[in-house]
Amino acid sequence: MEKLLQNIKKFKLSHLQPDLETFIRKKREFLDQSKGNFLKFSKVFEKIQCHDPSVIDLENRMVTIGAPDDLEPEELKALYQSLDQLCPWRKGPFNFFGIKVDSEWQSWMKWERIFPHIKNLKGRRILDIGSSNGYYMFRAAAHNPLIVLGLEPQSYFYFQYLAIQKFLKQDNVFCLPIPHDELPKMGDYFDTVFCMGVLYHRPSPVEMLREIHDSMKKGGELVLENLILETRENFCLFPKDRYAKMRNVYFIPDLLAMESWLLRAGFTNIRCVDIAKTLVEEQRKTRWIQTESLKNFLDPHDPDKTVEGYPAPVRAIFLAEAR
């Protein structure tokens, strides 16, 4: 986080220096005094030795860091144990010096659905809300943006990101361990905002979209991926309790309702560029998670329904511009 402050002029954030200094100091104090999972995963992270990878590949489906010959056998064993202790690995896949972390999500599938449609990322100021371990941030970093800032409040994902950055050392990629509503007001700063798999967890989705809009430059691009219903009747599903065993799912809009939300929030040039049913080829249980996955969330007798009887997960990608 301190490196973000050191590069305030480079990233054109000088007008926010006092606010960011106060904010980052408080977050550093929080991490220094952390308990529970933050303390547990910070200890795992601190034990990971830094190694210089002979190869870095951010452009292909598996983010690759180093080669097996870069490390001694004992060093590889120690790294494997640390990566294992940082489970669950939801996003990926990653290759650490020959250690292949087969994440729950084959995240390259979503990236390949998104990337052909979005504006060139070179020189752009990017925000990734709910950035997890940074898989999408690092894929974006391969295209020379000015800055990529991620927001990830979950301790295991945040320390996975730190572990990855310990080797990659991408000097224009940063992550803050906070939800979006704790980010200091940055004015119309961002050129591109990724908000993927987040909005349905918010009880006030239009309010969040307005806050995102207000943080973007005029003409800036929102890349929004969300659970949807495949109708255009302008209504939403509000799960009674859980959806696909998730407790904190509030509104799942249909396609027209999603467009209406974006209009209400101030966006223009709204278009849906992809609709994809979530399949077990994309989300599945691996040895790098210890929990259930998609197969367990669906009705075993009808894969078109969740275990609660709702329509099975379908995700749509919307692009929109700030005005």
Q: What is the token pair recorded at 272?
A: 């849906």
Q: How much is the pLDDT for 22?
A: 86
**Confidence band of 92 (pLDDT split at 50, 70, 90):** very high
**Predicted local confidence at residue 15, as pLDDT:** 82
φ, ψ for residue 7, nearest 5 deg = -110, 25
pLDDT value at 4 more than 90: no
Greater pLDDT, 134 or 21: 134
Determine the angle formed by the axes of helices 255-264 and 205-214, rounding to 10 degrees. 50
Question: pLDDT tens for residues 212-256?
Answer: 999 999 999 999 999 999 999 999 999 999 999 999 999 999 999
Q: Exposed, middle or buried, 132 (CB in 10 Å: 0-12/13-18/19+)?
A: buried
Whether 228 and 261 have beta carbons less than 8 Å apart is answered as no
d(CA 44, CA 58): 25
Look up residue 191 and give its two tokens: 């050129």
What is the predicted pLDDT for the residue at 35?
A: 86
| Side-chain-facing half-sphere of 55: CA atoms under 13 Å | 15
Q: What is the pLDDT of residue 7?
A: 86
Q: Do the beta carbons of residue 74 and residue 80 sit within 8 Å?
A: no
Query: Residues 171-190, buried b or exposed e (16+ Cβ, 10 A)?
Result: ebbbbbbbbbeebeebeebb
Of residues 303 and 27, the one with the higher pLDDT is: 303
Order of strands across the sheet that contains 94-96: 56-57, 63-65, 94-96, 99-101
The per-residue pLDDT for 24 is: 83
pLDDT at 294: 98
Burial of 106 (0-12, 13-18, 19+ CB in 10 A): buried
Name the residue among 54, 48, 83, 80 with its Cα closest to residue 66: 54
> Quick one: what percent of the chain has pLDDT higher than 70?
100
Q: What is the mean pLDDT of residues 139-145?
A: 98
Return d(Cα 207, Cα 270) in angstroms, integer.
18
d(CA 204, CA 227): 15
**Mean per-residue pLDDT over the chain, rounded:** 96
Identify the structural domains of the chain with CATH numbers, from first to last. 2-322 (3.40.50.150)
| pLDDT value of residue 118 | 98
pLDDT at 1 over 90: no
**Model confidence at 21: pLDDT above 90:** no
Angle at which helices 36-47 and 155-168 pack, to 10 degrees? 20
- Checking if the pLDDT of 18 tops 90, the result is no
* pLDDT at 26 exceeding the cut of 90: no
